[in-house]
Amino acid sequence: MQVNVKWDFGDTDLEDVDYTAALKESGLPHTVTIPKHIVEEWKTEGDVVITDWLSDKYGFTHFGWD
């Protein structure tokens, strides 16, 4: 499963930079492949599983994913 992530650059050195430039400069991916064990947990536990995994893995919060 792949998701597109809208990262939150607020309260970082990139908060005043255009989103596309901030994404490039940060090195964060726009599209992320979610591991199978996280997808399985998501099926029963809901969106918070992927939300938390993304933040834990990349060290950034986000405005959501689809």
Both tokens of residue 63?
């405005």
pLDDT value for 24: 97
Each residue's pLDDT tens digit, 13-65: 999 999 999 999 999 999 999 999 999 999 999 999 999 999 999 999 999 99
Stated pTM of the model: 0.91
Please list the alpha-helical segments (H only) found in the chain. Answer: 19-26, 36-45, 48-58
pLDDT value for 61: 96
pLDDT value for 12: 95
Query: Which amino acid is it at 11?
Result: D
